[in-house]
Amino acid sequence: MTTVGELGETALIERIVERVRRASPLQTMGGRVITAIGDDAAAWRVAGVQAATTDTMVEGVHFRTSTASWADVGWKVWVSNVSDIAAMGGSPFAGLVTLGLPADLDVSNVDALYDGVLEACAVYGTELMGGDIVGSPVPFVTIAMTGVCSATPLSRSAARPGDALAVTGPLGGSRGGLLLLESGAELDTPARQALALAHRRPAARTDAGVVLRRVGVRCAMDLSDGLAADLPKLTKASGVAARVEIEHVPVADALRSEFRPDALRMALGGGEDYELLFTGPSDLVQAAVSEVPGSAVIGEITEGPVGRISFVAGRGEPVSIEVEGWEHLR
Amino acid sequence: MTTVGELGETALIERIVERVRRASPLQTMGGRVITAIGDDAAAWRVAGVQAATTDTMVEGVHFRTSTASWADVGWKVWVSNVSDIAAMGGSPFAGLVTLGLPADLDVSNVDALYDGVLEACAVYGTELMGGDIVGSPVPFVTIAMTGVCSATPLSRSAARPGDALAVTGPLGGSRGGLLLLESGAELDTPARQALALAHRRPAARTDAGVVLRRVGVRCAMDLSDGLAADLPKLTKASGVAARVEIEHVPVADALRSEFRPDALRMALGGGEDYELLFTGPSDLVQAAVSEVPGSAVIGEITEGPVGRISFVAGRGEPVSIEVEGWEHLR
């Protein structure tokens, strides 16, 4: 075992650069690259509308190495950024990776982290174009990503009363996987394996984002903190309220079979599914739903009180549901 | 006192958004903004060549609150990113701020940090376009910045044997200021005040970067880790060696008066000055030096051994100098 402190910054960066070049030998960035990894900044040709986002995961806060491999962490931080670009209806392009590393961390963990990032790069047609490595008592990974989008990107502030409210796929799988991994349960059934995979290797819905934009939907956001925590952000940004018909919320099949009585609550509260939440006139939303398998209309946007979310059951009677959304600072 | 944990993520973000809008009410980003702070990603119109960089500071590693205010930290991280864009000969445009915050941190510190960022935004004509806030046991700040540059950005890999080697201004001021602040010395002379300011509020040389590009210089990098640590990066990237005439290295006047016997060593080893190091044919470098007050030719690029730096005194005799450059992972 070699620690990052023993290897030192210069050798570690050389090691990473070689790894990135081997995985992505041409560093083409669509033929648009001018300066990639290794200089003061990256540079590339672009025309149109550029989008940029950033997401971070801190060890002990957003991940634990007992339930996620370093490759999983690299994958997930990259994908969470891709998801933000997808939520704008855009195409992710390239990202910068910042690592905060304790000196006593084994270098093989850094290798694995980059392997996860590079896997995600390949799957989403994106490039790693540089970054920064710093010492830190607690490991963290920050990715900043750029992409291209239209001059009218999807926005979380475009919901209007009367809009249908929909999601692009089943929810709660990541939370179910996390609980299984934390419990140390054997992953001995397809359902358990599916949940663990949903937690370790979530997918970003770039495909769905493109459909939403094409059919004319204007309002979307990605579900990173959970429906119960994220929907209030959308309604507040739009100055509206929402009604959610809980029986229509799609719940991952594997979640139902493994966590039957709690599955719905976990689907409403669980984060890191990275499905898109979207709203629009009913005909547009239906058009999108018909093109995105697994998606479903789950309710309606209503007038205020601004930000209020009403959960209702079969015949419209209000239900009170205790859910925990992700709160970053508690 | 209110802690960030008591305030919570949603209220903290609302507080920050309001602060940013008050400081920068139009969020114009040069009239090019489409989506600014508050959505899944920022979006803006662009044409030409885009540059992107990222830099991080971690408490206890890159700063201590005993020697830097939170506003100083915000300023410095922003400026270190501006400096990277300047080192490409580019114009910084806008950035994303990621904060890692312990729940027990006083909210007023976050306010102060943004004040420092917003001061730097105003000075460098840049915009804060979004970011991310996460819980972290150790406070850290990561900024990712974009800018525009030419299709032939300055590069640290463009040095050629025979090039003159120069810097855009005096070195060591930041190190001198740090030592004074750490020692608790009274800042009771103009020299001491100048050094403390050099450490707390360094300037990025966007002005000099533009001159370098205009006169035709092609090779540059910024001095963030110190000449002795950064020059080997430039020579390795270019496949060359370098000779530094130590008597020509510009040393901050205040550093000479406060730290006379150690001033040169501190100028060679001290980081965070954010001057630009550049090389090129002698006539071009002289043209740049004549336009950038405080700049100086300090040596020459030579053939290999690749990466080797020779320090020489008055008549060319080699000297051995013990300097410490910044090493991120020890």
> Of all residues in chain A, what percent carry a pLDDT higher than 90?
78
Which residues in chain A touch residue B221, judged by CB atoms under 8 angstroms apart? Answer: 39-40
Q: Flag whether A310 is in a domain.
A: yes
What does the pLDDT look like over A28-42, one tens digit per residue?
555 667 777 778 888
Q: Flag whether A84 is in a domain.
A: yes
Looking at the structure, tell me whether residues A70 and A191 fall in a common domain.
no
Which residues in chain B touch residue A92, judged by CB atoms under 8 angstroms apart? Answer: none
Chain B residue closest to A143 (CA)?
B144
Q: Does B27 touch chain A (CB under 8 A)?
A: no
Q: Are strands A296-302 and A241-245 parallel, antiparallel or unpaired?
A: antiparallel
Give a three-class secondary structure readout of chain B.
CCEHHHHCHHHHHHHHHHHHHHHCCCCCHHHCEEECCCCCCEEEEEEEEEEEEEEEEEECCCECCCCCCHHHHHHHHHHHHHHHHHCCCCEEEEEEEEEEECCCCEHHHHHHHHHHHHHHHHHHCCEEEEEEEEECCCCEEEEEEEEEECCCCCECCCCCCCCEEEECCCECHHHHHHHHHHHCCCCCCHHHHHHHHHHHCCCCCHHHHHHHHHHCCCEEEECCCCHHHHHHHHHHHHCCEEEEEHHHCCECHHHHHHCHHHHHHHHHHCCCCCCEEEEECHHHHHHHHHHCCCCEEEEEEECCCCCCEEEECCCCCECCCCCCCCCCCC
Looking at the structure, tell me whether residues A89 and A18 fall in a common domain.
yes
CATH number, domain containing residue B186: 3.90.650.10
- Predicted local confidence at residue B30, as pLDDT: 56
Instruction: Compute the nearest-CA separation of A160 from chain B (Å).
Output: 16
Residues 148-207 of B with CB under 8 A from A: 149, 151-153, 155-157
The band of A287, judged by pLDDT with boundaries at 50, 70 and 90, is very high
Which residues in chain A touch residue B329, judged by CB atoms under 8 angstroms apart? Answer: 4-5, 7-9, 12, 101, 103, 133, 135
From CA B323, how far away is CA B38, in angstroms rounded? Answer: 45
Looking at the structure, tell me whether residues A256 and A293 fall in a common domain.
yes
Looking at the structure, tell me whether residues A123 and A179 fall in a common domain.
no
Domain count within chain A: 2
Looking at the structure, tell me whether residues B102 and B174 fall in a common domain.
no
- Predicted local confidence at residue B327, as pLDDT: 62
Q: How far apart are the first and last CA of chain B?
A: 36
The residue from B125, B149, B173 where one domain ends is: B149
Most B-contacting residue of A12, A17, A50 (CB-CB within 10 A), to test interface: A50
CATH number, domain containing residue A143: 3.30.1330.10
Looking at the structure, tell me whether residues B172 and B312 fall in a common domain.
yes
What does the pLDDT look like over B25-81, one tens digit per residue?
555 555 667 777 778 888 888 878 899 999 999 999 999 999 999 999 999 999 999
Looking at the structure, tell me whether residues B136 and B77 fall in a common domain.
yes
Looking at the structure, tell me whether residues A122 and A187 fall in a common domain.
no
Q: Flag whether A274 is in a domain.
A: yes
Q: pTM score, two decimals? A: 0.92
Most A-contacting residue of B13, B17, B50, B57 (CB-CB within 10 A), to test interface: B50
Q: Write the residue in A58, A129, A137 that is nearest to B134 by C-beta.
A: A58
The residue from B126, B149, B172 where one domain ends is: B149
Looking at the structure, tell me whether residues A310 and A245 fall in a common domain.
yes
- Domain carrying residue B273: 164-318
Residues 100-119 of B with CB under 8 A from A: 100-101, 103
Looking at the structure, tell me whether residues A104 and A225 fall in a common domain.
no
pLDDT at A230 exceeding the cut of 80: yes
Looking at the structure, tell me whether residues A138 and A67 fall in a common domain.
yes
